[in-house]
Amino acid sequence: MSAQFEVVVDVDRPIEDVFTYLADGRNDPEFSPRVLKMEKSPDGDTHVGTVFHSMVKDAGMRSERDFEIYELTAPTRMRWHEVSHNSITAQDGGYDLEPTPDGGTRVRLFNVLEGHGVGKVLLPLAAGASRKDAPAFGRRMKEAVETSA
């Protein structure tokens, strides 16, 4: 059983800048309050095979999550999947970017969540919360990218 959420937002920055910012998952804590810590392995540019190690807080509980980049097509597409084992995981996620006529970038973020064990029971609640927060998440992401150097 899986559930998906997504958000689309227009960012007032060129597509190359937006892609560079989002491809470095270490920026995620700037717009995702649930991400407490994010590290990258290996160091250097993000590429297929890069893993982002995070500490997140969901529903008052902390967990470690590892996301592997499995597709990267600069500056338009990035895909990841969660390789850690938690009750709810992102089996697939990504960014799709396209330039807007005014020189900005339209960003689509999505995650397909999957429940495991007790997570199968919790999945509808987690997906509902993710969908509810999606517009605010998009605004936070937009603001973080636009104010980045």
Could you give phi then psi for residue 46, rounded to 5 degrees?
Answer: -70, 135
Q: What percent of the chain has pLDDT over 70?
A: 99
Is 61 or 65 the better-scoring residue by pLDDT? 65
Nearest Cα residue to 9 out of 127, 137, 147, 148: 137
How sure is the predictor about 9, in pLDDT bands with cuts at 50, 70 and 90?
very high
33-58: per-residue pLDDT in tens?
999 999 999 999 999 999 999 999 98
Mean pLDDT, rounded, for 76-95: 97
Rg over CA atoms, the chain: 15
Nearest Cα residue to 65 out of 97, 37, 30: 37
d(CA 69, CA 27): 15
d(CA 63, CA 43): 23
Specify the pLDDT at position 60. 85
CB 35 within 8 A of CB 26: no
